[in-house]
């Protein structure tokens, strides 16, 4: 069936006619040139498109409706002189409503511009935002003629001008990068050092207190959880919850107004830019967590907000022999069809926009395996990767994949192309297993510690392809990882059925908080062990915001719907000792290129010496022979890092060298005596890290080569050599 709403006269509410000109098909979106606005929107299968203009004081119904007459290569375009920044608008698309053939046009639904640079509000859930009649016997095959304009946010024309004050991107190399994963609201919403009127916003991230904290912590990049304009799911709103994490995108060009300190339409754009500018002044990069694999419109029972109404079949992956239904590789109901050129263009245009106009430094792609799918499998040579690799803008920023999706063939850790880094889920799980006393082979620990060469080296990638992490937004916090064996997600309202059951965690003897001093001491030690292992490992370390403060979510490992104290950082109860330990630890690692190598260990002697670049030792001081590696369970050992074996030069061509370090990992449950390496590896050692003593610095005591020290159970000790071999 085809529905049609009669076109109104092109006149304002006071009867004054407005002028329309043909306009241009590029760029897509709404573009203000100082004299008027060009509107351009893609739809291949629509019969006609109407541009709807709104006044800020009346969002119930458009004050002007313009039938777009010009179409170029499926792009509908019109230019209206006299319009400017702050103008609210949307679209209505006319065409067949035939879900069985993949078409869901319904001109009663106001549609957001897929290229909108700002969105003025949030969806107000109502039956009117659905293209079909809720509760009808024919389900989504029925037709809903209710007008949705009063319940929909509006797209906003913006002024792209901004004083960047000579902004220069930090361009920090991967090997010098420490990433801090943070939620815009959760980071500052409870922080009394931030003015109350801007807490939880972009402006709060840009506040001097925030920047000083990040600088003192030593991180070089913040990875913001989704800030693209997103929708809070209806079923969550009805339960008094919300979508806190934001993995439900509706606007791929629009910074979400939730995190703006101003409600003025379009102000969120300049506020976001100001945040980036101030972080760059401090030498801190901004990486965005982006969700291009699906949209907020859900499956065939989902609402009609934008793409579904503009051209459902030209945006989504539909079931081939029954296009009423959607291919769902994400668990969210739909999947964007990156096989189609207009969808690829949308994603690439969005990425370029955030780089060129918003000055961001990189992206972490949510469920990135979905973007690689061509037919039903994942393909690392798909169009998506080829286009990015060839793009002179996008290929030059940090590209980080979450290398999996929900399908059986969707776990792609180690399989992304050159130029990509990956969240290394294998690192997370195996390092967790090591410290909880689970049996893993020494070879597994050694591979993770050295940058996962088994995953990346054969593909000509470097250790920095591995984004190492212990915790992230999804799962236990670091505190909860050592305090809970089981998830406790009752607050989510799903009878604790949501969230991962495999957490690789250990509660140290008691489930949840306890007054037992021995258990609390062990938990504190374990937190330091995890952080130390993470920061000393080759690759790129990512720290989840709040872990350094002892953040707890009371055992909730899936707090996606908790926009409250469960998720927010609790600055008043921060673990100051853990914070100081973390700062000192990051500072130590940043100061020593031994822990920030660009190239792989070669397991070969350094020129002019018989000492290798890396060597592994038993507690008795004997080097572990090759034949004892296979099948041996990792519990206790030492690793020697030769500062003369970095095998890299600095930007000026000078050979990079560093001190020698010896690191003892002891996951056993009893104290143990360790003999230090022989004199060939250097002499006169001093402790620089001792997780049992909450110590990062340099101890006064000097221990000779071959000397002995007692290492506490469940702890890490790192020593620096005061003299290199032969000196």
Distance (Å, whole) CA 637 – CA 10: 78
| Count of H-run helices and E-run strands, the chain | 15, 28
| Residues marked as catalytic | 366, 402
Instruction: Give yes or no for a contact between 452 and 458, defined as CB atoms under 8 angstroms apart.
Output: no
451-454 CB contacts, 8 Å cutoff, 24+ apart = 451/537, 451/538, 451/539, 451/597, 451/600, 452/414, 452/424, 452/426, 452/427, 452/539, 453/600, 453/601, 454/414
Instruction: Give yes or no for a contact between 660 and 642, defined as CB atoms under 8 angstroms apart.
Output: yes
SS3 for 612-657 is ECEEEECCCCCECCHHHCCCCECCEEEEEECCCCCCCECCCCCECC
Length of the chain: 727
pLDDT of residue 5: 33
- Tell me whether strands 221-224 and 614-617 are parallel, antiparallel or unpaired: unpaired
Helix (H) or strand (E) run with residue 585 in it? helix 576-591
Helix (H) or strand (E) run with residue 178 in it? strand 178-182
pLDDT of residue 272: 98
Give average pLDDT by consecutive 10-residue segment, the chain, 727 residues.
38 65 98 98 98 90 96 98 97 98 98 98 97 97 98 98 97 97 98 98 98 98 98 96 97 98 94 98 98 96 98 97 94 92 96 98 92 63 82 96 76 87 96 95 95 90 96 98 98 96 96 98 98 98 98 98 98 98 98 95 83 94 90 92 92 93 97 94 94 97 95 98 67
SS3 at position 141: helix
pLDDT of residue 723: 80
pLDDT of residue 727: 42
Q: What single DSSP character describes residue 146? A: -
What is the model's pTM? 0.95
SS3 at position 208: helix
Nearest Cα residue to 204 out of 221, 220, 223, 185: 185
Buried b (16+ CB within 10 A) or exposed e, 418-429: eebbbbbbbbbb
Nearest Cα residue to 420 out of 371, 377, 354, 350: 371
pLDDT of residue 709: 95
DSSP calls for 673-704? EEEPPPGGG-EEEEEEEEGGGTEES--S--B-
Cis peptide before 27 (omega within 30 of 0): yes
pLDDT of residue 8: 36
Instruction: Give yes or no for a contact between 222 and 214, defined as CB atoms under 8 angstroms apart.
Output: yes
Distance (Å, whole) CA 724 – CA 77: 70
Distance (Å, whole) CA 272 – CA 205: 10
Q: What single DSSP character describes residue 561? A: G
Instruction: Give yes or no for a contact between 312 and 389, defined as CB atoms under 8 angstroms apart.
Output: no
């Amino acid at each position: 069936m085809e529905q049609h709403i009669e076109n109104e006269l092109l006149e304002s509410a006071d009867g004054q006619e407005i002028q329309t000109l043909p306009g241009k098909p590029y760029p897509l979106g709404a573009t203000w040139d100082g004299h008027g606005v060009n509107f351009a929107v893609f739809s291949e299968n629509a019969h006609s498109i109407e541009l709807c203009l709104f006044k800020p004081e009346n969002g119930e119904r458009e004050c002007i409706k313009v039938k777009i007459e010009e179409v170029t290569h499926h792009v509908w375009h019109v230019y209206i002189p006299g319009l400017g920044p702050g103008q609210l608008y949307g679209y209505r698309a006319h065409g067949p409503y035939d879900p069985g053939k993949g078409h869901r046009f319904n001109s009663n639904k106001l549609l957001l511009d897929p290229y909108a640079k700002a969105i003025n509000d949030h969806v107000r859930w109502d039956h009117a935002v659905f293209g079909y009649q809720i509760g009808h016997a024919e389900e989504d095959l029925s037709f809903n003629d209710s007008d949705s304009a009063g319940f929909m946010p509006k797209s906003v024309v913006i002024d792209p001008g901004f004083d960047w004050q000579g902004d220069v991107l930090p361009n920090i190399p991967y090997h010098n990068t420490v990433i801090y994963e943070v939620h815009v609201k959760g980071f500052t919403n409870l922080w009394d050092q931030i003015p109350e009127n801007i807490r939880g916003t972009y402006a709060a991230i840009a506040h001097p207190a925030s920047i000083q904290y990040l600088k003192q912590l030593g991180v070089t990049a913040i990875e913001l959880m989704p800030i693209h304009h997103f929708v809070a799911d209806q079923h969550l709103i009805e339960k008094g919850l919300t979508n806190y994490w934001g993995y439900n995108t509706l606007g791929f060009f629009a910074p979400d107004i939730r995190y703006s300190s101003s409600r003025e339409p379009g102000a969120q754009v300049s506020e976001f830019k100001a945040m980036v500018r101030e972080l760059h002044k401090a030498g801190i990069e901004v990486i965005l967590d982006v969700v291009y694999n699906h949209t907020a419109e859900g499956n065939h029972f989902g609402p009609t907000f934008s793409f579904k109404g503009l051209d459902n079949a030209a945006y989504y992956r539909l079931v081939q022999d029954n296009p009423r239904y959607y291919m769902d590789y994400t668990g969210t109901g739909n999947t964007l069809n990156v096989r189609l050129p207009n969808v690829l263009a949308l994603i690439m245009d969005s990425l370029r926009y955030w780089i060129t106009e918003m000055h961001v430094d990189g992206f972490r792609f949510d469920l990135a395996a979905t973007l690689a799918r061509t037919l039903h499998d994942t393909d690392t040579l798909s169009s998506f990767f080829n286009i990015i690799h060839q793009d002179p803008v996008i290929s030059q920023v940090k590209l980080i994949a979450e290398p999996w999706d929900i399908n059986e063939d969707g776990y792609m850790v180690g399989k992304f192309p050159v130029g990509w880094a990956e969240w290394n889920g294998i690192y997370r799980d195996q390092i967790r297993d090591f410290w909880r006393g689970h049996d893993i082979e020494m070879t597994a620990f050694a591979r993770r510690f050295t940058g996962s060469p088994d995953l990346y080296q054969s593909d000509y990638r470097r250790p920095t392809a591995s984004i190492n992490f212990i915790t992230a937004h999804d799962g236990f916090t670091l505190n909860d990882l050592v305090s809970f064996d089981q998830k406790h997600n009752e607050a989510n309202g799903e009878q604790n059925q949501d969230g991962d059951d495999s957490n690789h965690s250990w509660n140290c003897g008691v489930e949840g908080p306890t007054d037992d001093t021995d258990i609390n001491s062990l938990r504190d030690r374990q937190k330091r062990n995890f952080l130390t292992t993470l920061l000393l490992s080759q690759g790129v370390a990512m720290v989840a915001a709040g872990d350094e403060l002892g953040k707890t979510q009371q055992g909730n490992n899936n707090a996606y719907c908790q926009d409250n104290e469960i998720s927010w950082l609790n600055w008043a109860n921060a673990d100051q000792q853990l914070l100081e330990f973390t700062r000192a630890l990051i500072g130590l690692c940043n100061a020593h290129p031994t822990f920030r190598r660009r190239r792989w260990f070669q397991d070969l002697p350094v020129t002019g010496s018989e000492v290798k670049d890396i060597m592994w030792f038993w507690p008795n001081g004997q080097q572990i022979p090759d034949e004892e590696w296979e099948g041996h369970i990792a519990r206790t050992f030492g690793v020697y890092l030769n500062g003369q074996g970095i095998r890299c030069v600095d930007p000026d061509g000078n050979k990079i060298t560093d001190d020698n370090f010896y690191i003892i990992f002891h996951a056993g449950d009893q104290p143990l005596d360790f003999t230090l390496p022989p004199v060939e590896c250097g002499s006169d050692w001093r402790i620089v890290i001792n997780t049992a003593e909450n110590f990062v610095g340099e101890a006064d005591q000097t221990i000779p080569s071959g000397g002995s020290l007692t290492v506490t159970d469940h702890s890490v000790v790192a020593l620096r050599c005061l003299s290199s071999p032969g000196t």
